[in-house]
C-alpha cells in the first residue's frame, strides 16, 4: 500500500512541477480509494501534503527569480480569506457532497486540459479578474482540498502578464499558502479529524522529489501530450470515485 502511495504522490508532484496544477486534484481521490479515508479526513490530509509539495516547488521558483511579489500580493488578498471560508463550508456539507463537487471539477479539468491551447500572455492586464480568480481558487482549495492551479495558472498568464514558467512558480506559492490557510482553519475550528502522519510523510517526501524533477524537465516535454495523458488519468480516477461512492 505504501508503494502505491509513493508512486501516486510522485504523480502529484510531477504534475505540480510541470504545470503548476493538476497533481493536487488527484490527492484526495488517492487517499479515499487507497487508504479508505472519509472525504473530510482525506481533504485534511491533502491540504498538508499538497501544501508541502507546493512549498518546495515555490522555493525552487524563488531561487530562479520567477516569483512576482506584486502579483502574489493581489492574488493572496482574495484567495487566503476564501480558502478559510471554503474549509468551513466544506466541513459543514453533508457526506458525499464534497466528493460530488470534486468529481465535477475533475471532469471539467479533464475537458479543459484536452481542449485548451497554448496560453499567450495578455497585454491587457486586469486586476479585477486576478482578484476574482484568486478568490475562486482559494475557496475551491478549502472546499475540496485541491490547489486550484487550473484557475490560477491561466489567470496569471492571461490577466497578470506572466509567462508560463513564471505562472507555474507563482501558482505553487499560492497553492501552498491557500492550503496552509485552509488546514489551520480546520484545525482551529474542528479538532476531531485524525491525521495519519505516516501517510503524510510518505506522500510529502515522494511528492517533493517529484515536483523538483518536474520543474527540471518542464521545458523538455510536449505540454499538449502531457495534458491529454493527465486528462485520461483524471477521467479514470473520477469514474473510480463514483463507483466507490455507490
CA–CA dist 96, 246 (Å, integer): 10
Contact 46/24 with Cβ under 8 angstroms? Answer: yes
Domain ranges of the chain: 2-245
For 126-156, letters b (16+ CB in 10 Å) and e give eeeebbebbbbbbbbbbbbbbbbbbbbbbbb
- pLDDT tens by residue, 92-114: 888 888 878 878 877 876 776 66
Q: Could you count the other beta carbons within 10 Å of the beta carbon of residue 16? A: 31
Q: Which one, of 30, 21, 70, lies nearest residue 214 by Cα?
A: 21
CA–CA dist 147, 106 (Å, integer): 12
For 30-62, letters b (16+ CB in 10 Å) and e give bbbbebebebbbbbbbbbbbbbbbbbbbbebbe
Confidence of residue 116 (pLDDT cuts 50, 70, 90): low
Q: What are phi and psi for residue 163, nearest 5 degrees?
A: -80, 175
> What is the predicted pLDDT for the residue at 159?
76
- pLDDT tens by residue, 125-150: 677 877 887 888 888 888 887 766 76
What global pTM score does this model have?
0.76
Amino acid at each position: 500500500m505504501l508503494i502505491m502511495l509513493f508512486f501516486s504522490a510522485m504523480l502529484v508532484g510531477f504534475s505540480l512541477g510541470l504545470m503548476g496544477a493538476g497533481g493536487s486534484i488527484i490527492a484526495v481521490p488517492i487517499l479515499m480509494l487507497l487508504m479508505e479515508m472519509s472525504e473530510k479526513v482525506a481533504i485534511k490530509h491533502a491540504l498538508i501534503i499538497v501544501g508541502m509539495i507546493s512549498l518546495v516547488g515555490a522555493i525552487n521558483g524563488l531561487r530562479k527569480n520567477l516569483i512576482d511579489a506584486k502579483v502574489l500580493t493581489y492574488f493572496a488578498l482574495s484567495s487566503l480569506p476564501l480558502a478559510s471560508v471554503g474549509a468551513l463550508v466544506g466541513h459543514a456539507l453533508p457526506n458525499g457532497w464534497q466528493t460530488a463537487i470534486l468529481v465535477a471539477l475533475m471532469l471539467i479539468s479533464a475537458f479543459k486540459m484536452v481542449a485548451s491551447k497554448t496560453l499567450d500572455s495578455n497585454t491587457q492586464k486586469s486586476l479585477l479578474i486576478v482578484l476574482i480568480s484568486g478568490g475562486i481558487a482559494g475557496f475551491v482549495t478549502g472546499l475540496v482540498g485541491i490547489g486550484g492551479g487550473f484557475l490560477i495558472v491561466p489567470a496569471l498568464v492571461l490577466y497578470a502578464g506572466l509567462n508560463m514558467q513564471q505562472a507555474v512558480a507563482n501558482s505553487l506559492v499560492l497553492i501552498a499558502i491557500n492550503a496552509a490557510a485552509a488546514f489551520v482553519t480546520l484545525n482551529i475550528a474542528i479538532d476531531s479529524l485524525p491525521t495519519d502522519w505516516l501517510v503524510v510523510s510518505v506522500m510529502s517526501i515522494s511528492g517533493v522529489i517529484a515536483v523538483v524533477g518536474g520543474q527540471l524537465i518542464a521545458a523538455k516535454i510536449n505540454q499538449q501530450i502531457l495534458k491529454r495523458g493527465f486528462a485520461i488519468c483524471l477521467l479514470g480516477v473520477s469514474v473510480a470515485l463514483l463507483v466507490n461512492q455507490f
